[in-house]
Structure formats: structure tokens, C-alpha cells
Amino acid sequence: MQPSAHQRSTLDLKTIIRLPQFVKLVGLSRSTVYLRLNPKTKYYDPSFPKPIQLGMKAVGWKLEDVYSYIEKLRYRETDL
């Protein structure tokens, strides 16, 4: 479930979100997220938000990148 425009404007878009939050926002499973990030798969999406390294094994996504990607998807759907 995505926050409303008002709620989103009050969020700090520089926030880094972790995988559980990311999958909820984009509506994909964990495995599908990693398939979209892997250029060797047929599911690779070069416009998909790229994770950033937070530690040795930890990654996160910039909230502003996630919202930007979702908006691009909405825009593409209206153009079809």
C-alpha cells in the first residue's frame, strides 16, 4: 500500500528503505526483485531502482528512486 501524496510529501525522500519495505512498495517478491536487477536474466529491467550498499551484506534503496520508478510505471500504463 502506497502512502497518499500528502503523506509522501511529509516523508523524507532521502530515506533508505530495506528489502521488506521495498517489496511492499513495488508489489514484487524478493526473488523477482533480484531477477529484475540481474542483467543475465530475461526479467532484467535497466530502469529498476538499484540498491545501495549499506554494509558488508546489507543493501537498501533510496525512497525517492522507488517512487520515481513507480511513477514511470504509471506513466507507461497510461501511454498504452
Q: What are the residue ranges spanned by the domains of the chain? A: 13-79
Phi-psi region of 31 (alpha: psi -120 to 50; beta: other; left: phi over 0): alpha
pTM for the model stands at 0.77
- 9 or 63, higher pLDDT: 63
Which distant-in-sequence residues (6+ apart) come within 8 Å of 60 by Cβ?
A: 16, 17, 18, 19, 22, 51, 52, 54
Q: What pLDDT shows up at residue 13? A: 73
Which pLDDT tens digit goes with each residue over 25-58?
A: 999 999 999 999 999 999 999 999 999 999 999 9
